[in-house]
Amino acid sequence: MTFQPLPTIALLGTGGTIASTASSSTALTNYTVTEGVDALLMAVPALSSLANIQCQQVFNVDSRNITNAMLLKLANKVNRLLTDPDIDGIVITHGTDTLEETAYFLNLVIKSAKPVVLVGAMRPASALSADGPLNLYNAVLLAASPQVHGLGVLLTLNGSVHAASLVSKVHTSHVQAFSSHEQGSLGQITDGKLQLFQRPYRAHTTETVFQLKGIKKLPLVDILYDHQSAGLHLYEAAINAGVQGIVIAGSGNGSLSPKAEKGARLAKQYGVACVRSSRTGSGIVTSSQNDARRGLIAAHALNPQKARILLMLSLAHTSERSTIQSYFEHY
């Protein structure tokens, strides 16, 4: 019988509901982050049969508090850890509210084929039927699975496995809160077994042009939500505040109200990049023949919050509209 050593997984804690407790076991909201990542690890003794785990607390916050500076810190740490030949994969615990933003950012800047898996929970650690422990077990199982090498950054909750590129939080409170819409999930973990159905087709990690070397600060990009009877004032305020990019959460297929259209013209005049995305929550914003003339970039498959992540990274590399448009088509 040959002895297979267990893989070594770095477990990085950043906070979220998975690390939170509430006043009673039936309270599913109104919780606060109280638990360190070592406590999450200790709550799931079965993890020791999957991997040797090295814990690190990177920060411990509700994910609404995550900033660009924290994204850079986390990504640099992950890239550093993955150059260590003794580390086989990474699991990051994270709040679910902005999980898709962090996952997509890492998916664009991590330069390794080793598994990076993000995980959270919809119920606090103190709840009856808390979902965190099984989600964490599944995340470590995933990060320790050779089949997911080269698939980019992944996310798992409630037994589903998603690619960072297209997954989005789609429910405020259910444990099945994440969906990859038309593309569907990449796979499922049931009874401690991983089954993959498909590969992600958007370019990621080692296939992107983005490098963080030398980047101390990300360009400022705002999201402006369009609606009937919208005004111009938010566009003026964003441009006056010195943003380098604006993502418009437009209606339907990235349609713009008259004032949003005017805001986009103003942005072009001031050299501010402007992306047309959709507030619908699913589907693709297709390029229009008029985009180049209007100085606009179509968001394609990215929702507004992911379009902001890609626009920040794009602007750190280039200000060329057509190059940025091609990033939106490929990433």
Q: Which of 57, 46, 49 is nearest to 10 (CA)?
A: 57
> Closest approach of Cβ 27 to ligand ASP, in Å?
13
Determine, following the binding rule CB under 6 A, whether residue 120 of this chain makes contact with ligand ASP: yes
Where do the H-state alpha helices sit in 119-189? Answer: 132-143
Cβ 94 vs Cβ 116: under 8 Å: no
Q: Are strands 168-169 and 20-21 parallel, antiparallel or unpaired?
A: unpaired
Tokens describing residue 236: 């003026």
Annotation says 96 is catalytic: yes
- The reply on whether position 14 binds ligand ASP by CB under 6 A is no
Does 35 engage in binding with ligand ASP (CB under 6 A)? no
User: Which one of residues 88, 97, 131, 291 is an interface residue with ligand ASP (CB under 6 A)?
Assistant: 97
132 binds ligand ASP (CB under 6 A): no
Q: Could you tell me the end-to-end alpha-carbon distance of the chain, in angstroms, rounded to an integer? A: 44
Nearest residue to ligand ASP, by Cβ distance, number only: 95
Stretch of 40-48, 95-103, 142-150, 256-264 lying at the interface with ligand ASP (CB under 6 A): 95-103
CA atoms within 13 A on the CB side of 266: 18
Tell me, yes or no, if 318 is annotated catalytic.
no
Residues 54-93 that bind ligand ASP (CB under 6 A): 62-63
Catalytic one among 14, 17, 93, 156? 17
Active-site choice (93, 96, 156, 205): 96
Residue 175 or 215 having the CB closest to ligand ASP: 175
97 is in an annotated binding site: yes
Task: Extract long-range pairs of 265-272: CB within 8 Å, 24+ residues apart.
Answer: 265/294, 265/295, 266/232, 266/235, 266/236, 266/239, 267/235, 267/239, 267/295, 268/294, 268/295, 270/239, 271/319, 272/238, 272/239, 272/243, 272/244, 272/245, 272/246
Strand pairing partners for 223? Answer: 247
CB of 31 to ligand ASP, least distance (A): 8
Binding residues for ligand ASP (CB under 6 A) = 16-17, 62-63, 95-97, 120, 122
Residues marked as binding for substrate?
A: 63, 96-97
Residues marked as binding?
A: 63, 96-97
Active centre residues (catalytic): 17, 96
